[in-house]
Amino acid sequence: MILGSRVRKIEFGIMFITLSLIVFSILMIYSIGAISDGDDPLHFAKRQLLWAFFGIGIMGGMAFLDYSKLKAYFPLIYGGTILLLLTIILFGKSTLGAQRWISIGSFQLQPSEFAKLAIIIALAAFLERSEGKLHDVKTVIQAIGITIVPILLIIMQPDLGTALVFVVILIGILISAGIKVKHLAVILIVGLLLVAMVFQFNILKDYQQTRLVVFLNPDIDPSGSGYNLRQSMIAIGSGGIFGKGLFSGTQSRLNFIPERHTDFIFSVIGEELGLVGGGLLVLGFFLLLTRTLAIGANSRNHFGLLLATGITSMWAFQVLINIGMTIGIMPITGIPLPFISYGGSSMMTNMFAVGLLLSIYARRFS
């Protein structure tokens, strides 16, 4: 009876999907091989495996903890996140024109990844306390205020793509919390006006403007600014229905696809496994998102529902943008593909999120 009771507290579906995605990630990163001459062909695959083991430990630890206890610590979580983002501006490592990482030995810590989950916890804790008060404009403004500070700090890095993830998380949680349609409409209108101001006053960096121009017309500079997108589309198109075969991608293994182990890993999947492989991956994400929503819907309290909604919003937007940019329907950004793109910070954040979901599920009746 005791064993049966404990088993019923485990959400095996989301665990299986998550572990399947991680195994798939390591396989694809291994398939890519060395990133440059002289590299160990297994270097990135071995490191991704290491991050996965750490992530599984984080997931298991979080699953055993009562997620509701996070509510008491949300000011500390939020304050620590802001401090980390400020540290990036002062002491962060600059790569490819962006200052987003802190070097800790051989590990590159990216605070903006952890900030995604921190803002989900902060918003969920704040809005649960304000349950039933979202008709109050003051409460909505306070929720926006909680989100706008990290957004501005991330834009300063600059990292517009990640900042947009925060906006989507905010909107998703507000909708789940019961925001009035008219208030949501005002937020969207203000958001559009801010976007218009960004273009009007040339706030975007030159490379960000170039990415938007290339998105609208990939052939404008095929050997320069449009090279990344062009090579990605060639790789995916050459894969056809069934792909060229695992370990047989010419575009990826011959270094034509840029950042093929991180931002453009879906291009490798499309080339080697074709429409079928890419479609199965999208199906895996769909199942992950539906299970996440189901866990939130069956949560014992509003806090669990808001956490699950925020996590769903984060993952769904990242999947849409990352896959979309590789096939030319979204602008190129530095947003990773959850569980698939190489990266320790991203893996830890996503596995912590899975642990939160397992904790919500385990305590759905208690």
Task: Report pLDDT digits (tens) over 12-38.
Answer: 999 999 999 999 999 999 988 755 445
Give the amino acid at 57: G
**Residue 211: is its pLDDT beyond 50?**
yes
Lowest mean per-residue pLDDT among 49-63, 64-78, 139-153, 238-252: 238-252
Q: Give the separation between CA 225 and CA 290, rounded to whole angstroms.
A: 37
Q: Where are the beta strands (DSSP E) in the chain?
A: 93-95, 98-104, 107-109
**Residue 39: is its pLDDT beyond 70?**
no
What value does the mean pLDDT of the chain take?
85
pLDDT confidence tier of residue 207, bands split at 50, 70 and 90: low
Name the phi and psi angles at 101, rounded to 5.
-125, 150
Report pLDDT for 249: 82
> pTM of the entire structure?
0.90
pLDDT in tens, 314-362: 999 999 999 999 988 888 888 999 999 998 899 999 999 999 999 999 9
Q: In whole angstroms, how far apart are CA 216 and each of 45, 61, 72, 161, 209?
A: 34, 45, 46, 17, 11
**Residue 9: is its pLDDT beyond 90?**
no
At residue 121, the 3 state secondary structure works out as: helix
Q: Are 114 and 351 in contact (CB under 8 A)?
A: no
The 10 Å Cβ neighbour count of residue 296 is: 22
Angle made by CA atoms 201, 207, 211, in degrees to the nearest 5: 95
Average pLDDT over residues 184-210: 70
Count Cα neighbours of 272 within 13 Å in the Cβ-side half-sphere: 22
List 107's β-bridge partners, or say none: 104
Residues 6 or more apart in contact with residue 276 via CB below 8 angstroms: 241, 242, 243
Q: 356 in the Ramachandran plot: left (φ > 0), alpha (ψ -120 to 50) or beta?
A: alpha
Lowest mean per-residue pLDDT among 47-51, 245-249, 274-278: 245-249
**Residue 255: is its pLDDT beyond 50?**
yes
Share of the chain above pLDDT 90, in %: 48
End-to-end CA distance of the chain: 17
**Residue 192: is its pLDDT beyond 70?**
yes
DSSP state at residue 42: T
Q: Which residues of 320-342 are buried (b: 16+ CB within 10 A; e: fewer)?
A: ebbbbbbbbebbbbbbbbbbbbb
DSSP string, 138-203: HHHHHHHHHHHHHHHHHHTTT-HHHHHHHHHHHHHHHHHHT--HHHHHHHHHHHHHHHHHHHHTT-
Report pLDDT for 97: 52
